[in-house]
Amino acid sequence: MTRSLKNTARRRLLAGAGALALFGSSPLRAFGAEIGSSAALGLAEIPDGALAEQLLYALPGKVPLIKKTFRPPNFETPVEYFRNPITPNKAFFVRWHLAAIPQVAAKDWALTVGGESAERELKLDLQELKTQFRPAQVTAVCQCSGNRRGLFEPHVAGVEWGVGAMGNAVWRGVRLKDVLQKAGVRGNALEVVLDGADRGPLDKTPDFVKSIPIEVALDDNTLIAFEMNGAPLPHWNGYPARLIVPGWTGTYWVKQLMSVKIVPTPEKNFWMSAAYRLPRGRFRTPTFKSQLYSPNEPITTMVVNSLVTSLRSGQRVPRGKPIEVRGIAWDGGSGVAKVEVSADYGASWTPAKLGKDRGRFSFREFALGVPASESGARVIMARATGNTGETQVEQLIHNPAGYHHNVIQRIYIEVV
């Protein structure tokens, strides 16, 4: 590493250590690792707004997660749980938009299927859903659209997520396509509208209703899931059934699914026409063609990204032993083509070894041992590339809602 790179790395390392010092009296320390700190998040110089109220709190049935809000409940997964490619149900992040979340009993649950572009209306209870359709499963990442919003600079409004508003699971259920085809899909079908059981505290609060294009609804990978990692869905993750839209951001993965409507016109509610939209053409993601009626467009698929889970900024590592750089990578469904690691602030890159391929919608593990023969400050960086050729960016693509943060990670460590 050149002298200028070493000096820059040293300055960044000290900055990361300074950010860590903010947590000297934090209740996080009671849990061992500095979960929620800039060090554990692995990204240095997190803006102050992302550090507020980084408490660990255990919801019923969950391990302690990083609390963002109580009403509605929004909790992110600590980095330690991403050291395995499948995220445990008990550690899976929690994201709700509305505060009134009912406890839905399986015996009382039913899914209605209809709409103007349906041939007939169906009403299916959970047992009918499980027995009348062929089972299907997919391993897929569910990621909140605003994951890493707290890392935006300048700050933007919204839940100030760190890096843990995501998780990877094996989802099992039935294909939405099969259910829609039993109801009959008319030739004029444009979108499928989805509604869950959650409600706002006031009547005027817009109900959380989402829609997806008919071609996405009819994709073999789009499921109505009732199992997660071989167990029933946790209450906090949508029990008894939820939508799974692999590759698309979590806003479309409607929980506690109660209603499915096939419609010939674009859905115009608040959550489609105003929320979850981006400046048009800023990202290499597919468009939602029926919703392109304003200067912006709805968010659709995830962008390529990666996360180093074996190191944290400010960490000291022993000289003479390889620096073990391990982590996970993912994208919007093309699959991970490669992950490269740099130990000299991006001056050179070395391909990492990829782990088991669990499918194109899943986390893909990567690992590389970086030589550490000299003492001093080092900057570890990781960048993923998808099979589409899309690669993580060096500079943030700013947008008002704080979506698609996939800047190449920089971890400042010191070899001693």
Radius of gyration of the chain (CA): 22
pLDDT at 44: 46
The residue whose two tokens read 């390529």 is 304
pLDDT at 201: 83
pLDDT value at 260 more than 80: yes
pLDDT at 293: 86
Residue 331: name the closest of 158, 94, 166 by CA: 166
Residue 375: how many other CB atoms lie within 10 Å: 12
Q: Where in the chain is the domain with CATH 2.60.40.650?
A: 305-415
Q: How far apart are CA 111 and CA 127, in angstroms?
A: 11
pLDDT at 202: 83
pLDDT value at 20 more than 50: no
Phi, psi (degrees; rounded to nearest 5) at 150? -65, -10
DSSP 281-323: TSSSS---GGG--SSEEE--BPPPEEEE-S--TT-EE-TTS-E
Would strands 409-415 and 376-386 be described as parallel, antiparallel, or unpaired? antiparallel
Instruction: Return the DSSP state at 215.
Output: H
Condensed to tens digits (0 to 9), the pLDDT of residues 94-130 reads 999 999 999 999 999 999 999 999 999 999 999 999 9
pLDDT value at 46 more than 70: no
Q: How far apart are CA 61 and CA 332, in angstroms?
A: 29
Average pLDDT over residues 80-89: 97
Helix (H, G, I), strand (E, B) or coil at 370: strand
Q: Give CA angle at 63 (356, 248), nearest 5°.
A: 50
Average pLDDT over residues 64-88: 96
Can you read off the two tokens belonging to residue 339? Answer: 């992950």
Which pLDDT band, with edges at 50, 70 and 90, does 15 fall under?
Answer: very low
Are 156 and 402 in contact by the 8 Å Cβ rule? The answer is yes
Percent of the chain with pLDDT over 90: 83
pLDDT at 11: 53
Q: Which CATH class is domain 305-415?
A: mainly beta
Condensed to tens digits (0 to 9), the pLDDT of residues 267-321 reads 999 999 999 999 999 999 999 999 998 899 999 999 999 999 999 999 999 999 9
Sheet holding 353-354, edge to edge: 305-308, 323-330, 364-370, 353-354
Which pLDDT band, with edges at 50, 70 and 90, does 204 fall under?
Answer: confident
pLDDT value at 241 more than 80: yes
pLDDT value at 28 more than 90: no
Residue 406's contacts (CB-CB under 8 Å, 6 or more residues apart) are: 148, 303, 304, 305, 392, 393
Are 150 and 161 in contact by the 8 Å Cβ rule? The answer is yes
Average pLDDT over residues 27-31: 28
Q: Would you say how long the chain is, in residues?
A: 416
Q: Where in the chain is the domain with CATH 3.90.420.10?
A: 106-298
Condensed to tens digits (0 to 9), the pLDDT of residues 372-403 reads 989 999 999 999 999 999 999 999 999 999 99
pLDDT at 294: 85
pLDDT at 76: 97
pLDDT value at 16 more than 90: no
- What integer best gives the mean pLDDT of the chain? 89
Would strands 166-175 and 223-228 be described as parallel, antiparallel, or unpaired? antiparallel
pLDDT at 8: 52
Can you read off the two tokens belonging to residue 363? Answer: 């986390």
CATH T-level assignment (fold) for domain 106-298: Sulfite Oxidase; Chain A, domain 2 (3.90.420)
pLDDT at 7: 55
Would strands 94-95 and 74-76 be described as parallel, antiparallel, or unpaired? antiparallel
- pTM (2 d.p.): 0.89
If DSSP states are collapsed to H, E and C, what string results for 234-266?
Answer: CHHHCCCCEEECCCECHHHCCCCEEEEEEECCC
pLDDT at 55: 86
pLDDT at 3: 52
